[in-house]
Structure 1
Amino acid sequence: MSRTKTHVKKGDQVEIITGAHKGKQGTVLSVNAAKSQVVVEGARPVKKATRRSEADPDGGIKTIDGSVHISNVKKLG
């Protein structure tokens, strides 16, 4: 099983260089090399509906960080 090499890893500071969220900066929360996706903290907020559960008794609509294609981010410093 081979690993896909990426230019960023979890914890790196990155900037989004293209798209609607261009110029936003944040920390990489996760990297999915197989899908070429990264999740950047605070860069692309997405609304998600959640069901009620023991962990979240209210359920409802939550705001989470969405993924960005890895080619659209630039590592800082």
Structure 2
Amino acid sequence: MATQVKSEQTTAAKRYKMHVKKGDTVQVISGRDKGKIGEILNTLPKLSKVVVKGVNVKTKHVKPQQEGESGQITTFEAPIHSSNVMLYSTKQKIASRVCYSFNQEGRKVRMLKKTGEVID
């Protein structure tokens, strides 16, 4: 009796194309922190999530590692899904979707749809 070799399904996470990058100023458009504005500290393209400064702040109780040391309560920003943030123009104070266009040198740049402001 021949045994069948079952091919292992690779659960290699796919990298999602995201409309935001590290360093962008964004506004949260849904969830508990709706309306908050912050800078993107980190992006997680495999999970399609971003870490925004001052948004989705969690507290963690850390046990002491050595004897005589006291425990701590630390706060950190947890990731939120990239679809819950929208690029924000600090000049015009408005959130906008992103579009892609070409500048005079023929280089592809990101631009805010509402204001026409070039991001990078």
TM-score, with normalisation over the residues of structure 1?
0.82
Q: Which residue of 2 aligns with 1:36?
A: 48
Residue 36 of structure 1, CA deviation: 1.2
Q: Which runs of 5+ in 2 are unaligned?
A: 1-13, 90-120
Greater relative CO (CA pairs within 8 A, separation 6+) = 1
Displacement of 1:48 after TM fit? 1.2
Please identify runs of 4+ aligned residues in structure 1 that moved more than 4 A. Answer: none
* Cα distance change on mapping 1:58 and 1:8 into 2, 3 Å: farther
Normalized per residue, which structure has more strand?
Answer: 1
1:1-77 equivalences under 5 Å are: 3-53=15-65, 58-77=70-89
Number of residues of Structure 1 aligned to a counterpart in Structure 2: 74
RMSD: 1.9
Q: CA deviation at 1:53?
A: 4.8
Give per-residue Cα distances to partners, 1:1-41, cap 9 Å, x unaligned.
x7532100110000000011100000000000111111100
1:3 and 1:36, CA in 2 relative to 1: closer, same or farther beyond 3 A?
Answer: closer
